[in-house]
Amino acid sequence: MPVPETEKPGTGTGSFTFTGFGSSGVCLWPMSRSGPRGRGPLHTSTSPACAAIVRQPVPDFDLAAFRRELTRRTADAVQELRRRIGSETPYAFALFTSGERGFSFVRASANTEEGLGLRADRMAEGDPRFRGEAGRRLLRWRAPEWAYHDFSEPVRALAFPDPAGRRESLDAAIYEAFVGALKAVDRAGLFGRGADRAFLTVNILCDHPSPAFFSRGLVRLNPVPTVELHRHETARAPFVRCVNRAPRRERMRIWLALYEDLYMEWRTAIAEEARARGFSPWEVEEELARFGPKVVPKLVDLVAHYGFASAFDHARGLETREVWLAGSALFLVRRIGLVTDREIARLQKLVGEFVERDRRLRVASTLAENTARVLHELRPRRFPPTVMDAQTYKLLNPEPYLLRTREARP
């Protein structure tokens, strides 16, 4: 019986071979001996009731054959990659799969320093985040953006059992097959030796891998110097430790400045380094929240400084970065929660100023309503719920939030 085209193993053109299978190849999907061979065609009903009962027999998945074939095809892919990149400097090779579990495909993926730079330059034309070194570091481990992503057809052709119908333990076995294939290729020296190997990171990746999934493959598949180099250059923890070595007051000032830089998309040195390590303003908020009530006056300062900027960026069709920053600082005040009466009075004053500004606008920002809502959530017995015009975003019941003369501080 001929093997269907989708079940034929790749032939590979490299001279590197592994013992354990012949040159004739391996059928990854052996037919069950108990199948309906020689009994004529199998007729099934097309009715929905019968379709739920009668199923086509699923052939067994030969895990050992899969691992051997994956190893051979990966070795061939590495040799093909060496020929294709020429004098370029490779820094990563990965088996890319469908997710962190429920593996349904595998792809050979690789990138070079030169390919990374070209891709970052192209993406920077439409997004300033990818300019310069920060852009290259942001794209460094995004395998779908790599110059040699999914470059090997034989690896792509490997078949997997349907994740919906297989046992959960098979996921772990397939992951171990990925690890075993890459380790076998590494032992054969195809990833280089000595210093060359130390500068090439091998891993198992998926789209948007979690830090735990990324680290799992990193540690298992690379020598210690490679792991330490990667952690030093890309992990957030060393950056956080460096900032937190400063005295407490200076530490708060640094995190506040970084918070401002990231929201405003300023290209300061510290912001570039933070972006390269995957920091967003939300991660900085976690660090600011650790300061508790001491950071609240500084956050109110940000609301007062940026809250009166233009509400909309018509070129982007969005609110301006200034309004985003002011609103985010405001809701971080609410999250911290321990707000003094002095800062409550400052927020009341801001409500009055926002409302007065909004009277001159046809469509306003939401900051007046947001500030009033934060006051309500901080002091629910003192301030009522807000009412906002859904068309103009203006606060319709400002009076209860305004700072009365007797409440004002000298």
Report how far residue 135's alpha carbon sits from residue 144's, in angstroms, rounded to the nearest whole number: 15
pLDDT of residue 157: 95
Report how far residue 113's alpha carbon sits from residue 93's, in angstroms, rounded to the nearest whole number: 12
pLDDT at 334 over 90: yes
Q: In which band, very low, low, confident or very high, does the pLDDT at 350 lie, cut at 50, 70 and 90?
A: very high
Instruction: Between 95 and 140, name the one with better pLDDT.
Output: 95
For the segment 92-115, what is each residue's pLDDT rounded down to a tens digit?
999 999 999 999 999 999 999 999
∠206-212-214 over CA atoms, to 5°?
Answer: 40
Q: What three-state secondary structure class fits 15?
A: coil
Q: How would you class 270 by CB atoms within 10 Å of its CB: exposed for 0-12, middle for 13-18, buried for 19 or more?
A: middle
Q: What is the mean pLDDT of residues 169-182?
A: 95
pLDDT at 322 over 60: yes
Q: Up-side HSE of residue 151: CA atoms within 13 Å toward CB?
A: 22
Owner of token pair 């013992």:
19
Report how far residue 102's alpha carbon sits from residue 351's, in angstroms, rounded to the nearest whole number: 51
For the segment 213-260, what is each residue's pLDDT rounded down to a tens digit?
999 999 999 999 899 888 777 778 888 999 999 988 899 999 999 999
Lowest mean pLDDT among 50-54, 183-187, 215-219, 280-284: 50-54
pLDDT at 356 over 70: yes
Q: What is the mean pLDDT of residues 112-139?
A: 85
For the segment 148-161, what is each residue's pLDDT rounded down to a tens digit?
999 999 999 999 99
The pTM for the full model equals: 0.57
Q: How would you class 271 by CB atoms within 10 Å of its CB: exposed for 0-12, middle for 13-18, buried for 19 or more?
A: buried
pLDDT of residue 280: 86
Instruction: Between 285 and 49, name the one with better pLDDT.
Output: 285
pLDDT at 132 over 90: no
Is 285 in contact with 350 (CB distance < 8 Å)?
A: no
For the segment 31-55, what is each residue's pLDDT rounded down to a tens digit?
333 443 343 443 444 444 444 433 3
pLDDT of residue 294: 95
pLDDT of residue 44: 41
From 202, 206, 172, 173, select the one nearest 100 (Cα to Cα).
206
Q: What is the mean pLDDT of residues 264-270?
A: 86
pLDDT at 56 over 80: no
